[in-house]
Amino acid sequence: MPKRATFALVITAAGLALLLSFKTPSATNAPIGGSANVISGAAGGASASVSTGSTSGPRTAAGGPTGTTTTSGSAKAGTYTGTATQTRYGTVQVQVTVANGQVTNVLALQYPSGNPHSSSISQFAVPTLVNETLQAQTAQINAVSGATYTSQGFVQSLQSALVQAGA
């Protein structure tokens, strides 16, 4: 238990710094990746993959022994609103609630789809996600995975081209 608390403190310090720094005006055109760690409740980008054993279904918070989001004595209770950040897809603005040294709620006040959604964060670990703006890339690859089924489309033709090219 003490070991876990220490780990949590380390994560928290980084995590909260990230949360609170979001509040300061930023001159850069921050992609959603900069703020979305907050939306997902992730702490400082530390990869805490949650061990839950067998799952019983979808949930917004999962219990687990490794990695917690935020528990720190230095976090002041209250609600913090991040700056509205312009992204290519629209405006993102996040609000965070802190109570008892923990982040207890993360709410997207503004979200490009126009649909606000909130993630409730329990006192246990939260599945962390990394959120970025969709980019387009080309690259040297061996295969493509796409949502095709009975398809005459891109994946199939690219596949056959790769085979011909001996890639």
Partner 1 sequence: MGTVVSFDVRNSDVPAEALDRAVEYLHDIDRRFSPYKTDSEVSRIMRGELAVDDASPDVRWIMGLCDELTRLTDGYFDARGFRADGLPDPTGIVKGWAVEEAAYILIDSGATDFLVNGGGDIVARGSPVPGSSEPWRVGIQHPLERHKLAAVLEVRDGAVATSGTYERGEHVVDPHTGQPATDLVSLTVVGRSLTFADGYATAAFAMGRKGAEWLAGLDDYEAFAITSDGLTLATPGLPRVQNETPVA
* Binding positions for partner 1, rule: CB under 8 A: 32, 36, 40, 42, 45, 47-60, 62, 64, 88-90, 111-113, 117, 119, 126-151, 153-156, 159-160, 163
Question: Between residues 1 and 147, which has the closer beta carbon with respect to partner 1?
Answer: 147
Quote the least distance from Cβ 158 to partner 1, whole Å: 8
- Can you name the residues that pair with 110 across neighbouring β-strands? 93
> d(Cα 103, Cα 80) in Å, to the nearest integer?
10
- Give the number of other Cβ atoms within 10 Å of residue 132's Cβ: 10
Task: Retrieve residue 9's tokens.
Answer: 């403190």
> Which residue from 32, 12, 35 is spatially nearest to 24, judged by alpha carbons?
35
Question: Between residues 39 and 75, which has the closer beta carbon with respect to partner 1?
Answer: 39
Quote the least distance from Cβ 9 to partner 1, whole Å: 20
Q: Coil, strand, or helix at residue 91?
A: strand
Quote the least distance from Cβ 141 to partner 1, whole Å: 4
